[in-house]
Chains A and B, each alone.
Chain A
Amino acid sequence: MKLIRTLMAAATALAVTAFVAPTFAADDPGPAAYAQALKGKRVMLVPLAMGFDLAQGWAHYLKTEVEAWGGVLETRDPNWVVDAGAQAITDAISSDTRPDVLIIHAPDLNSYSKLMKKAQAAGTYVILIDNPANFPADAFIGSDWDRLGQLEAEAAIKGCGENSSKKIGLVQGDQANSSSLYQYAGIMKVLDKHPDFKVVAKPDSNWDATTSRNVTTTMLQQNPDICSIIDFWDGDATGASAAIRDAKLDGKVFLVTTGGGEKAADCDKLQDGTYGAVVMTDLARQSGDMNAIIKFLLQSGQPAGTSHTYIYTLEKATTKADLKPDSCWDLKALQAQAAAK
């Protein structure tokens, strides 16, 4: 009897499976739920400015993905002016077409905190990118600047070598931007573990190439035996490299910097020896993280400000030796691609 019952149960189960399985396969509820949650949603990117490689790269990768799921990506260009960025965010929050997700590249630790809180209160998810700020955003996606500084310092130590003067010079950004402050902290952490290496000077460039050139000239004048210089951004490291070139110390000073991994800005300059090492952000992957978190937040149904996720981009110090054809992304190619459309 027991056997018969088991057989019958098995037969029933088989029959049921046979009936249900095809409809199951034809009707995956995922895509419908996905489309319903995402379609027509608005994403706005407010970087420090639209005119530099990182922002143009982010905008490209975000646009491709957002438009693919039927959303709208808008960008605002504050052109490095903090007030203009604040205005753009304020306008966005109060407009009829309030964005569902606001992606903010903060100029410093505090400027936009109040506005971001307002945005969350209005129901907009806030994603902070690249520069950390004193605000519990729904997500932070960008570099762990402390770790990035450590990588720079390690690259500088390696670039100097054991038999060098062990003198390192820093060209900092400023004393307000978190990326500069944390980068410095990271560098010092590594150098503390290598007490034989010394920082001989640490002027600020204020992110300006001419200032970077002038302070580096003075630094090399005072310490011609410096073996490595760490400039805090590839946007102004062209100045430090000009100073090295002018002092005829090419090849003797190992210049380390960090950047968004754009071909002309980073890889070409590693290739021609201007930079010794660049800690590059994998921009495509970073943008991919942004896309993923946007899709997650829009489907989560949770109110803005509920969760606080940190997604740090994997960083790597790249030198000429480990340069590969795909080490960098090419802004010119992206622009050409966009123009062709």
Chain B
Amino acid sequence: MNTIGWPTLRSLNQEGIVFAIAVVLFLTAAIGLPGFIDPNNLVAIVRSVSVLGILALGMAVVIIGRGIDLSAVAIMAMSVAWYLQLLNSGTPDGLAFAYVLAGVLAIGLLNGFLVAYADVPAIFVTLATGSFVFGYVRSQLITQDAVPVPQGHWVELLGGLRLLDIPVEVFVFAGLAFLFFLFLRYTKWGSYIYFAGDNPVAARNIGIPVRPMLVLRYVLSALVALIAGLLTAASLHSINTRVVNSTLLYDIVLVAVIGGIGLSGGRGGVRNVLVGAALIGILLNAMTIIDIPLLYQNLIKAAILLGAIIVDGIINPRDEQTAQQGDI
């Protein structure tokens, strides 16, 4: 019997578990680690997961619609690298940005089109387009892994923007999170994403434009990746395309999934991304303060994530529907 008050064990889902772990970690670190609770450190924590969180928002929308976008990191790094390369070789800013925006939209549309109309599984489409974007831009459009931001360019100035000593990324992350929240929660289109993710066939039968909506999600994800890339370049004054080879892509999926957005689609929201990002941010910051070597950091991160998934599996056994449909 459910009563109002403390949540019962049954009602505790993965999001709740991860949130609880994050709170426990936060309190432990606040008590045990000097300087952790310092407002500047808290800002640094949020900032360190801002770009990750922004990318995870885009990924979340795609996953809720029962897809996945493995090209996000490639789009993020390569679009901005190309943009900076164009600027460095003297292309006017407006024109360079128009090129890059067109390129990003084209890849988003291509992803969406192949998934929606050619019926190719999203995981293969985006894996391929991601590799294509990286390979094409790296070999044809830029000369080096790292491309610097031209001096005095607005991207460089963007990186120096502060309000109340809080870096601009944090506001962009917060703003985008709010917009995505409004979109998913209060718009017709947002609801359609849940319907389509939960049961695409039924969604189509009741007249929801499932396919155009699918295309929209991949375009959205590509645009979000461009924003994340611009913010990265703004902070570092350059972009290094090596990030495409890093574990960033898995971290994005992780933030979304660990927060409780099911890979089977139709479940979750912005709150899950925030919870997932909070856990990762607190964890990494605390481990850096304690000065744990990276190898152990990865081990601890993996162990906590694995633990959360196992606990979720025990508390919330998979239902008949998921078992039949499967997830990614």
Contacts and interface: CB of A to CB of B under 8 A. Distances in A.
Interface of A: 49, 51-53, 56, 79-81, 174-175, 201-204, 206-210, 213-215, 217-219, 221-222, 235, 238-239, 242, 245-246, 264, 331, 335
Contacts of B167: 246
Nearest to A53: B144
B294 A204 contact: yes
22 contacts: A49-B145, A52-B145, A52-B146, A80-B245, A204-B293, A206-B294, A207-B242, A209-B238, A210-B51, A210-B243, A213-B236, A214-B44, A214-B288, A217-B47, A218-B41, A221-B40, A221-B41, A235-B240, A238-B238, A242-B159, A246-B167, A246-B235
Contacts, number: 84
B34 A208 contact: no
Given A49-B145, A238-B146, A242-B159, 8 more contacts: A53-B144, A175-B294, A215-B288, A217-B44, A217-B47, A218-B289, A242-B235, A246-B235
B246 interface: yes
Interface in B233-250: 235-238, 240-243, 245-246
Top 3 nearest A-B pairs (CB, nearest first) are A204-B294, A51-B145, A214-B48
B295 interface: yes
Contacts of A175: 293-295
A222 B30 CA distance: 13
Nearest to A246: B167
Contacts of A264: 148
B138 interface: yes
Given A203-B288, A222-B289, A51 B238 contact: no
Contact of A210 (B40, B143, B160, B232): B232
Contact of B235 (A80, A201, A208, A213): A213
Nearest to B48: A214
Contacts of B175: none
Contacts of A208: 240, 242-243, 246
Contacts of B240: 208-209, 235
B35 interface: yes
A119 to B, nearest CB: 26
A105 to B, nearest CB: 14
Contacts of A215: 288
Interface of B: 34-35, 38, 40-41, 44, 47-48, 51, 138, 143-146, 148, 159-160, 167, 232, 235-238, 240-243, 245-246, 284-285, 288-289, 291, 293-295
A202 B48 CA distance: 18
B289 A235 contact: no
Contact of B236 (A53, A202, A217, A238): A238
A218 B285 contact: yes
B245 A79 contact: yes
Nearest to A234: B146
Contacts of B38: 221
Contacts of B291: 201-203
A1 to B, nearest CB: 82
B27 to A, nearest CB: 19
A81 B245 contact: yes
A51 B77 CA distance: 15
Contacts of A80: 242, 245
Contacts of B144: 51-53, 56, 331
Given A208-B243, A208-B246, A221 B35 contact: yes
Name, among B240, B246, B285, the residue most crowded by chain A CB atoms within 10 Å (CB to CB): B240
A210 B236 contact: yes
Contacts of A239: 236
Contacts of A331: 144
Nearest to B159: A242
B147 to A, nearest CB: 10
A213 B49 CA distance: 12
A218 B142 CA distance: 33
B283 to A, nearest CB: 12
